Amino acid sequence: MSSASELYQSIILDHNRSPRNFREIKDASRSAEGYNPLCGDQLRVWLKVEDDKIADVSFQGSGCAISKASASLMTTVVKGKTPAEAARIFESFHRMVTGQGGPADDLPAKLAVFAGVREFPARVKCASLAWHALRNALEQAGTDPVSTE
């Protein structure tokens, strides 16, 4: 295993063991659920948007190490961003994990730990589970779970 993939694996394991922002935001302004139909795992993302900034973001739910680590890293990356910036990061992340081109220059470097999942179609849904919930929350869509399909 290359040192880069060892580093990536250790980052994923760290975020799985100690997920950041793993809590509910009681006074959230937006919230949405993501659902992975392949495994039945689901999680919820909460957003607190103030003055066009994501003042707080969190998640809770069940999932594998990749989904939990991805959700955890997502919260650290979008906090402090505008909803429009967060939506652009979603698009860039989604392109990277689905293999539709490399990560855009504006994709925060720490998200590169998920670049390898494009080789494993089932894992793409794990890595993008929280991100679909984030997008749904950003769009203030309904309260139904959003699938990774």
Report in angstroms the alpha-carbon separations of 61 from 80, 91, 120.
23, 23, 22
- Edge-to-edge, what's the strand order for the sheet holding 53-61? 53-61, 42-50, 30-35, 146-147
| CA atoms within 13 Å, Cβ hemisphere of 67 | 26
Nearer to ligand FES, 64 or 87 (CB): 64
Strands 53-61 and 30-35 come out as unpaired
Length of the chain: 149
Stretch that binds ligand FES, among 36-44, 87-95, 107-115, 130-138 (CB under 6 A): 36-44
Q: Which 67-106 residues touch ligand FES, going by CB under 6 A? A: 67
Instruction: Determine the interface stretch with ligand FES among 45-53, 60-68, 79-87, 131-139 (rule: CB under 6 A).
Output: 60-68
**Among 129, 133, 134, 137, contact with ligand FES (rule: CB under 6 A):** 129
Q: Which residues contact 21 (CB under 8 A, 6 or more apart)?
A: 56, 57, 58, 59, 72, 75, 76, 79
Q: Enumerate residues 109-128 that contact ligand FES by CB under 6 A.
A: 126
Decide: is 56 part of the binding site for ligand FES (CB under 6 A): no
Determine the interface stretch with ligand FES among 26-34, 35-43, 92-100, 112-120 (rule: CB under 6 A).
35-43
Cα atoms in the Cβ-side hemisphere of radius 13 Å centred on 38:
14
* Residue with the two structure tokens 């990356």: 77
Shortest distance in whole angstroms from residue 39 CB to ligand FES: 3
Is residue 39 a contact point for ligand FES (CB under 6 A)? yes
The site for ligand FES, by CB under 6 A, has a size of 9
Interacting residues with ligand FES (CB under 6 A): 36, 39, 41, 63-64, 66-67, 126, 129
